[in-house]
A and B are shown apart, each in its own frame.
Chain A
Amino acid sequence: MTTPNSYMNGPDERGHFGIFGGRYVAETLMPLILEVEKAYNAAKADPSFQKDYDYYAKHYVGRPSPLYFAERLTRELGGAKIYFKRDELNHTGSHKANNVLGQILLARRMGKKRIIAETGAGQHGVATATFCALFNLPCVVYMGATDIARQAPNVFRMKLLGAEVISVESGTGTLKDAMNDALRDWVTNVEETFYIIGTAAGPHPYPVMVRDFQSIIGREAKEQMYEAEGRLPDQLVACIGGGSNAIGLFHPFLDDKDVAITGVEAAGFGVKTDKHAASLTGGKPGVLHGNRTFLLQDDDGQIQDAHSISAGLDYPGIGPEHSWLHDIGRVNYASASDSEALEAFQMLSKVEGIIPALEPAHALAHVTKIAPEMDKDKIILMNLCGRGDKDIFTVAEALGVEI
């Protein structure tokens, strides 16, 4: 395989990153997806669209999010300097707002009257419900029954915000099943509905669109890093389910060849078991939800159930750009288990006074492994992409505590 001149040029006009990506959808959806693509390209070229985005990003979401030097944690681990990009401080408590804001502005531009979304942990659902309230659009969120049970606070939040939450009983009742049902809704209500996909996956143009909206994370971080240290970090770390917070941080750094990049998948009970969500480590390429990407699947091509203590990482696939970056070796993909994430979750709460979401706790678990091995003049930048309030019940249960 030849090394490209730039890692930032993808996808091609058909939505491919190498062999990954594409638009594997039913014919009913094709005209819509082409329409979304056309509208997105027009919006990108329109300064007023960017102006609207910047306005709400600043005044409503609270961007730019801080870049924070975690001094105590750095001392505790005794190696590289650790910085956090604090996207957990966004309105709604995670990076999801960056993407939903962009897509809902696009939906308004297209004159769509109804918004649907899928959600795993509920973070994307909450972000979508929030912006639907702001822009007065009816909102339907599909959420797996299993996830509804373990993310009760977010379910209630969505309802407070005026969204209808539909429980998805099929399959394992997690994110993939929620996405199936959202797609079913979309083929049924094509004319007036806009589907806000929460991660950098799905049919083209979703992976590129979500990446573009999330790249605000990496662009800000780059600037803030120069301000703080006068140079780029040596190592980026972010957790990966579908991979939207990770691609958002990574993308602006892809051509900075001295910056090492690591995505951390959820290893659940361990990648050698059948209970994990590490599609790159334990899966192989296949076609699902409109794109070719690495998937957890059996020898017959049936999709397998993912497992992670973190509902947001509990997905048997991954965004196609990550599959490509893995394939060409630009990004290194590691994994952290449920118990490692739990430990990191507690550690950060005590050492820095920050309760992280279980998703970035996976990234943090990896940081705790590598930081002590690195010199003190090295810099790690980790995306702290969500706050942990929503997870306290799950964590309490895992620790055997009754609250």
Chain B
Amino acid sequence: MSQTRLEKRFADLKEEGRGGLVTFVTAGDPDFETSLEIVKGLPEAGADVIELGMPFSDPMADGPAIQASSLRALRNGMTLSKTLDLVRAFRQDNQDTPIILMGYYNPIYIYGVDKFLVDAKEAGVDGFIIVDLPPEHDEEFCIPTLEQGLHFIRLTTPTTVGDRLPKVLNNTSGFVYYVSILGITGTAAASDSAIHDAVARLKAETDLPVAVGFGIRTPEQAANVATVADAAVVGSAIIDTLKENLDDDNQAKPGLSQAVLEYVRTLADGVRGSRT
């Protein structure tokens, strides 16, 4: 079977002998054009995998930064089908960097699962992280996703222990996303040793790459995580940089996307330097 774009990316990282950088931004934040500019610039700035948030009005697992980011996008007219437009526009010049859509189930349910999977695949999406679909609901979206040849990436957490872990890993594909803390996005960071132990625990149960996220804010933290895990995920800290470049009406100030990409570059430098 041929490798998917996501599998190839992690295989290449392994060959290069370094951990990867997964960056999260919300599609359409603060507006469609600026967001597209950022996403288009991410690979060159050093993002190995792009995680793109599908805005939702009630993001229960997210902290204030990502909540606000979702609402900014929605207020400026973002929709699920425009998120797919954004991916489509990105794919015009980039065939190598995987895009994972992350979000909540309701907008997909309303769009229609089958139609959504067809449209997302056509647009160039590689996989999904859907926060509120645990294995108990695999038949709804996870299994149809796998049948389309797309990835369904599951979150595992510090509470995923005992016989829960195999259940969560089953039907997970592409990589495993380890949520390093109990809580919402953008809050405290876990200690290096806790992350190290958790990754080891996961590696004993799966051959899939492990990415670690929640609470990673600095190039140093990203670098540390990338030494023990296959990739570090950074989200809220990127969104915070974006927010610093908004005017009082939450519109983009000149130079916003450059500032965001510059910050991503520092993260990427950290990650790339980590295993030399």
Contact = CB atoms under 8 A, between A and B. Distances in A.
Interface of A: 14, 22-28, 30-32, 170-171, 176, 180, 183-184, 187-191, 286-290, 295, 297, 299-303
Contacts of B184: 184, 187-188
Interface in B105-145: 105-111, 131-134, 136-137
B179 interface: yes
B159 A302 contact: no
Nearest to B168: A27
Contacts of A184: 60-61, 63, 183-184
B24 to A, nearest CB: 16
Contacts of A26: 60-61, 131-132, 134, 155, 157
B10 interface: no
Contacts of B63: 184
28 contacts: A14-B136, A24-B134, A27-B168, A28-B157, A28-B158, A28-B179, A30-B134, A31-B159, A31-B164, A180-B60, A183-B60, A184-B60, A189-B182, A286-B109, A286-B110, A287-B104, A289-B60, A290-B132, A295-B106, A297-B110, A300-B81, A300-B107, A300-B110, A300-B111, A301-B56, A301-B80, A302-B55, A303-B106
Nearest to B161: A31
A27 B154 contact: yes
B61 to A, nearest CB: 4
Contacts of B171: none
A337 to B, nearest CB: 25
Given A31-B161, A287-B109, A301-B110, A23 B134 contact: yes
B61 A303 contact: no
Contacts of B79: 300
Interface of B: 55-61, 63-64, 67, 74, 79-81, 104-111, 131-134, 136-137, 154-161, 164, 168, 179, 182-184, 187
A299 B110 contact: yes
B159 to A, nearest CB: 5
A30 B74 contact: no
A32 B184 CA distance: 16
Contact of A187 (B61, B110, B134): B61
Contact of B159 (A32, A295, A300, A303): A32
A301 B108 contact: yes
Nearest to B131: A26
Contacts of B179: 27-28
A295 B57 CA distance: 13
A27 B106 contact: no
B134 A27 contact: yes
Contacts of A27: 134, 154-157, 159-160, 168, 179
Given A27-B156, A28-B157, A171-B57, A287 B182 contact: no
B132 A302 contact: no
A14 B105 CA distance: 18
Contacts of B160: 27, 31
Secondary structure call for the A interface: mixed
Contacts of A31: 159-161, 164
Contacts of A14: 136
A187 B107 contact: no
Contact of A302 (B57, B64, B81): B57
A289 B58 CA distance: 9
Contacts of A302: 55-57, 74, 107
A14 B159 CA distance: 20
A343 B236 CA distance: 49
Nearest to A23: B136
Contacts of A171: 57-58
Contacts of A290: 132
Nearest to A31: B159
A301 B110 CA distance: 5
B58 A25 contact: no
Closest 6 CB pairs of A and B: A301-B110, A301-B107, A188-B183, A302-B57, A24-B132, A28-B157
A306 to B, nearest CB: 12
A31 B63 CA distance: 21
A287 B113 CA distance: 13
A180 B58 contact: yes
A295 B56 CA distance: 14
Contact of A25 (B106, B132, B156): B132
Contacts of B108: 301
A176 B179 CA distance: 25
A30 B111 contact: no
Given A300-B111, A303-B106, 15 more contacts: A22-B136, A23-B136, A24-B133, A26-B157, A27-B155, A170-B64, A176-B58, A287-B104, A289-B60, A300-B80, A301-B56, A301-B106, A301-B109, A301-B111, A303-B57
A135 B236 CA distance: 39
A365 B111 CA distance: 37
